[in-house]
């Protein structure tokens, strides 16, 4: 897995969201984008992370930051996940791996002695010009949204 680095142009994408609407990265030029990758809808860690973003969502809105969750789950799974946990942000459907591969988050994983390919839990902060500002390669689901918010706070 070769992650992108701060200072690189964020790869453009156009995919569907949980409602079947087309979403492109270029739609958000002029705003900061929190692009967070997670392994699977409605699993314990992914639910904790999504709920932390949900609970902090008003603070992201105050900072005019967009939150986009990405996994390789399909539209139905995303819709169900968003409804079940009242997620107010967009979930991107990446079942064709149009985002996970260019962003370097699709890779070999290990779980209980088995190796498999999957989505690694990584977050990119993309600036108003579409350039990667910050990368979080290791994420703790419970505290990550607060960590991103802290980074977004205006520096005095």
Catalytic residue ranges? 46
Alpha carbon distance 135, 122 (integer Å):
7
Number of CB atoms found within 10 A of residue 103's CB: 25
| 8 Å CB contact between 34 and 67 | yes
3-state secondary structure of 121: coil
For residue 124 the two structure tokens come to: 């990119």
Nearest to 65 by CA among 86, 96, 89, 47: 89
Which strands sit side by side in the sheet containing 122-126, from one edge to the other? 90-93, 65-71, 32-37, 122-126, 132-136
Alpha helices in the chain (DSSP H): 44-62, 75-84, 144-152
């Amino acid at each position: 897995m070769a992650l992108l680095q701060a200072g690189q142009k964020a790869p453009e994408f156009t995919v569907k969201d949980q409602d079947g609407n087309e979403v492109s990265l270029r739609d958000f030029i002029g705003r900061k984008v929190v692009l967070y990758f997670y392994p699977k809808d409605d699993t314990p860690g992914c639910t904790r992370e999504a709920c932390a973003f949900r609970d902090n969502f008003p603070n992201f809105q105050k900072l005019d930051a967009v939150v986009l969750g990405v996994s390789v789950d399909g539209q139905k799974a995303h819709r169900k996940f968003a409804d079940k946990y009242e997620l107010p942000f967009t979930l991107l459907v990446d079942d064709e791996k149009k985002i996970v591969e260019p962003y370097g988050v699709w890779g070999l994983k290990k779980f209980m002695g088995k190796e498999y390919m999957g989505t690694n839990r990584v977050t990119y902060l993309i600036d108003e010009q579409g350039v990667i500002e910050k990368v979080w390669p290791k994420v703790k689901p419970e505290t990550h949204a607060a960590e991103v918010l802290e980074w977004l706070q205006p520096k005095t």
